[in-house]
Structure formats: structure tokens, C-alpha cells
């Protein structure tokens, strides 16, 4: 999404405090979805996506539970909650069918758990996730040029994360995305209350990855548009 004045668009799409990657008791997080939403609202956030870990064993349960939750989350609350999911450690060929399932059920933010160097992720996962109907490729490690180009072509966000260990390759991801024109997103991958950092500290994650403030503004802007598009559907 190009555009000459990202700052103006940020105002237009006023949601610029978001985190579209967090975990709850529905998988390996510590908080209930309501509790998490209240924590994020208190920290000054305007929108989150709850994206618990899923594979074939639990996708039906998580999808149903998070949709039930978001359907009942009052619109008058300070924070918007989007139903999401993180397809995690799948054999590569399972990304397509499970992304398709989640989308059909009404999940609005689909994350692929990328090839972080911090965990033994199956090689070929970045590519398989990008070929499926996902929105965000989380912590994609030493992502290749070809995969960055595919992300760009499909409009899939590449994630810069504040999560320890996964964040080791942020600078590589940022550099490749800027060079090849793919969209970036700044996320927390939060599991515990301590992982909920302030919006200011989120920006620092981008700065540490080598982005300028202007480039970070552009990210907020693009993600703001994405959130509005998904929320309106």
C-alpha cells in the first residue's frame, strides 16, 4: 500500500496502537482472553488480535472459543479484539487446509509461525505458510529473498517481534522487507502480563531493527488500514 503521506493516513485510520499477536489460556498464554484485553486496554492499546497456537488437534476448539469471545466482546469497550489464530509447527503441507478452515469459520487474523532460529521449526515452513491464506508471517528468522518477494506479492506482513530470542533476526527481516518492498508489522507475541510492553517500547523494537521513525509510522498506517478492513467485514 503506497501513499504519499503516511502520517495523515495514520490519523485517518486512528488505530495506531495495536498488537496482532498474543496468546491466552486457550493455548500457552497465562491470561484469559478478557483479562488479556483489559491488560492491553490499560496499557493504552486500541486493538489486539488473539492468536493462539493451533494445529489439527485443537483448531476446531480454539476457533470456536475465540469467535464466541469476540462476538460477545462489547463494542463500547476501549479496545477492539479481533479473532485470530497462529498455525504453529505444522508439517508444511498442513498450512493450506488449516488456514482455509480458519478463514471459513470467520477468523480474521491468521498467523503462520515462521522459521525462528530459537526453535526447531521444520525447514520449508516460511514458504508453505506464505503459500497459504495467512495474514502475518511471525518471526521468519533468516527469511530468503524469494520468500520476502512472495510475501510482498501476496500482501502478507512480515513480523518484527519484541519477543526475546525470536527477535534476534529482526534486523535481517527489516532490511530485506525494506529492500524488496514487503510490508512489516510490529508485534509482541505476548504470553504473560510482563510481555505487554508499552506502545513506546513497541516503537523501540522497530528502531532497534534499523527502521526510521518515518518507516515505523508507515507500518502503523498500513496495519491500521488492515485492522479496519478486517473489522468491517
Q: Which is nearer to Zn ion, 134 or 221 (CB)?
A: 134
CB of 74 to Zn ion, least distance (A): 26
Question: Shortest approach of Zn ion to residue 21 CB, angstroms?
Answer: 6
**Closest Cα partner for 19 from 39, 42, 52, 47?**
47
Asked whether position 222 contacts Zn ion by CB under 5 A, the answer is no
Residue 28 in the binding site for Zn ion (CB under 5 A): yes
The residue among 109 and 216 lying less far from Zn ion, judged by its C-beta, is 109
CA distance 49 to 83: 6
DSSP-based three-state secondary structure for 159: strand
- For Zn ion, the closer of residues 28 and 201 by Cβ is 28
User: Which listed range, 4-12, 28-36, 102-110, 199-207, lies at the site for Zn ion (CB under 5 A)?
Assistant: 28-36
Measured distance CA(71)–CA(82) in Å, rounded:
9
CB of 181 to Zn ion, least distance (A): 25
What is the Cα–Cα distance from 50 to 224, expressed in whole angstroms? 16
Residues 6 or more apart whose Cβ sits within 8 Å of residue 82 = 20, 47, 48, 49, 50, 70, 108, 109, 227, 230, 231
Q: How far is the CB of 157 from Zn ion (least distance, A)?
A: 14
CB of 86 vs Zn ion, minimal distance in Å = 5
Closest to Zn ion by CB, 178 or 197: 197
Site string for Zn ion, 165-194 (x = CB under 5 A): ------------------------x-----
In whole angstroms, the minimum distance from the beta carbon of 188 to Zn ion comes to 9
- Give the strand pairing for 47-54 and 80-87: parallel
Nearer to Zn ion by Cβ, of 87 and 221: the residue is 87
Total interface residues for Zn ion by CB under 5 A = 3
In the numeric block, which cell numbers belong to residue 172?
535481517
Is 133 in a helix, a strand, or coil? coil
Q: What are the CB-based long-range contacts (under 8 Å, 24+) for 170-173? A: 170/205, 170/208, 170/209, 171/208, 171/209, 171/210, 172/142, 172/143, 173/140, 173/143, 173/209
Shortest CB 57 distance to Zn ion, Å: 15
Choose between 10 and 126: whose C-beta lies nearer to Zn ion: 126
Q: Which of residues 57-116 bind Zn ion (CB under 5 A)?
A: 86
Residues that bind Zn ion (CB under 5 A): 28, 86, 189
Amino acid at each position: 500500500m503506497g501513499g504519499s503521506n503516511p502520517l495523515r493516513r495514520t490519523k485517518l485510520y486512528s488505530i495506531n496502537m495495536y498488537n496482532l499477536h498474543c496468546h491466552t489460556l486457550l493455548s500457552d498464554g497465562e491470561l484469559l482472553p478478557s483479562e488479556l484485553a483489559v491488560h492491553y486496554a490499560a496499557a493504552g492499546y486500541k486493538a489486539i488480535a488473539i492468536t493462539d497456537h493451533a494445529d489439527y488437534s485443537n483448531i476446531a476448539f480454539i476457533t470456536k472459543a475465540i469467535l464466541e469471545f469476540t462476538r460477545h466482546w462489547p463494542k463500547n469497550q476501549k479496545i477492539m479484539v479481533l479473532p485470530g489464530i497462529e498455525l504453529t509447527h505444522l508439517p508444511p503441507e498442513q498450512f493450506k487446509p488449516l488456514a482455509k478452515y480458519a478463514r471459513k469459520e470467520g477468523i480474521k487474523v491468521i498467523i503462520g509461525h515462521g522459521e525462528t532460529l530459537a526453535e526447531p521449526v521444520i525447514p520449508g515452513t516460511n514458504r508453505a505458510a506464505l503459500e497459504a491464506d495467512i495474514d502475518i508471517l511471525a518471526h521468519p528468522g533468516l527469511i530468503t529473498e524469494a520468500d520476502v518477494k512472495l510475501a510482498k506479492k501476496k500482501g502478507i506482513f512480515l513480523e518484527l517481534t519484541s519477543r526475546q530470542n525470536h527477535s534476534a533476526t529482526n534486523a535481517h527481516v527489516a532490511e530485506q522487507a525494506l529492500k524488496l518492498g514487503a510490508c512489516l508489522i510490529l508485534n509482541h507475541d505476548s504470553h504473560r502480563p510482563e510481555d505487554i510492553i508499552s506502545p513506546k517500547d513497541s516503537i523501540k523494537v522497530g528502531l532497534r531493527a534499523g527502521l526510521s521513525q518515518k518507516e515505523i509510522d508507515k507500518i502503523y498506517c498500513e496495519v491500521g488500514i488492515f485492522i479496519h478492513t478486517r473489522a468491517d467485514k
